[in-house]
Structure 1
Amino acid sequence: MLHYAVVFLVIALVAALFGFGGIAASAVGIAKILFVVFLVLAIASMIAGLIRRG
């Protein structure tokens, strides 16, 4: 999931470099959403791991 967030961020940077503002904004939005999903899943996984050990 984090890999896809980084890929969309790179796409956004390249699009912004070439002047495609709309595509860059969309790619940044997708990257933000994927990063938040990654954080939620990582925290849930960490909590589940702590519960299993306990």
Structure 2
Amino acid sequence: MPATEVIKTNQSERLPKTAVESLARALLPQMRAYFASDEGQAALKQWRAEREQQG
């Protein structure tokens, strides 16, 4: 599945809230560091431009 594809529903299994929170705590520092970097800023700028073109 391409990274840009979004799964709209997952009715097969619910994730416990604690699992989601643990994942978020693990990923958030890395995500913040990436988007604070020059590479992350460029990717965010490109993503925003693509979203604006899509309408």
Q: Same fold (TM over 0.5)?
A: no
Q: Shorter chain as normaliser: what TM range?
A: 0.3 to 0.5
- The TM-score, its normalising length taken from structure 2, stands at 0.35
Q: Which has the higher contact order (CA 8 A, sep 6+)?
A: 1
TM-score, normalised by the number of residues in structure 1: 0.36
Question: Which one has a larger percent helix, Structure 1 or Structure 2?
Answer: 1
